[in-house]
Amino acid sequence: MSAAMHSTRASGPFPRSAAHGRGVRAQAVAVVAAAASPTRANVLCWAVIALVIAFELVAVAVLSSGEIYGWEVKLSRFLQGQERLSSLAFDLTSPLTNALSTDFLFPFALFVLVLAGLRYYQAAAMVALTLPVHVLAQFPKALVDRPRPPAQFEGLFGVGGGQSFPSGHVEYAVTLYGFLLYLLLKHVPGLRVRVLLIGVHVMFVVTTAIGRVGAGRHWGADVIASAIVGVGALAGLVWLDRALSARSR
């Protein structure tokens, strides 16, 4: 047997680099096909994303005038009147949703590294992706200079200034913790436990909104719209995660 024939048998009918290249291309094709396939889950994600984008554009147009509505003032007065509740809500949720603080970024990065260390590479990458998605979701701040709750409103206190819309804390409470919930629900059997976990997440989002309004950081329309924006960002992350999972299938 010649040396050339022996080399061919040892390495297989194709060079390793060519086989690897075909494998990567096959995975990429599988991801694109899964992302573009009109399955029920995909269509639902697309519909949610489209509706949220349309809603956000309308909200930008409506709130760009800077008008503060009467119901928002009443809501702020009520929540600020519940001082203990508002303070507790703010203190509990603010460190967990402030993506610009080191108190948040350090444990966030550690959590991503732990997932990667356990070889949950896709989950680690997707959780890390929530941060740039969160930043992109704040684009209305460049278009809407809505005033934050100011002190001149009778019976109210606030931080003043502009860029009240949207509330990044509320949006990220939906986006990040909603995606972590989605990952957890993949491994949690039983309808009751799933409903309980979803309820905990909803309560966390509501608590975040109460803290932001009660502390004079945002108005009611800011937190409600931001929660809806978070749902759209979450739908996009779920859609991408499901498409990437097609590689293993």
The DSSP annotation for 32-48 comes to: HHHHHS--HHHHHHHHH
pLDDT at 121: 94
pLDDT at 25: 75
Closest of 224, 229, 202 to residue 135, by C-alpha: 229
Please report, rounded to a whole number, the percentage of residues in the chain having pLDDT higher than 70.
89
| DSSP, res 162 | S
d(CA 36, CA 29): 11
CA quadruple 41, 43, 49, 51: dihedral positive or negative? negative
Half-sphere exposure of 33 (CA within 13 A, CB side): 9
Q: Is the pLDDT of residue 54 over 80?
A: yes
Closest of 225, 227, 222 to residue 72, by C-alpha: 222
pLDDT at 180: 96
pLDDT at 248: 61
Q: Is the pLDDT of residue 8 over 80?
A: no
Which residues are within 8 A (CB) of 75 and not within 5 positions of it... i.e. 6 or more apart?
A: 213, 219, 220
d(CA 157, CA 146): 16
d(CA 187, CA 206): 25
pLDDT at 181: 97
d(CA 176, CA 9): 50
Q: Is the pLDDT of residue 34 over 80?
A: no
Is residue 10 very low, low, confident or very high in pLDDT (cuts 50, 70, 90)?
A: very low
Is residue 162 very low, low, confident or very high in pLDDT (cuts 50, 70, 90)?
A: confident
Half-sphere exposure of 104 (CA within 13 A, CB side): 16
CATH classification for the domain delimited by 14-247, as one of 1.10.10, 2.60.98, 3.30.420, 1.20.144: 1.20.144
pLDDT at 177: 97
Q: Is the pLDDT of residue 50 over 90?
A: yes
d(CA 120, CA 184): 13
Long-range contacts of 61-69 (CB under 8 A, 24+ apart): 63/144, 63/146, 63/165, 63/221, 63/225, 64/143, 64/144, 64/145, 64/146, 66/144, 66/145, 66/146, 66/147, 68/147, 68/153, 68/219, 69/219, 69/220, 69/221
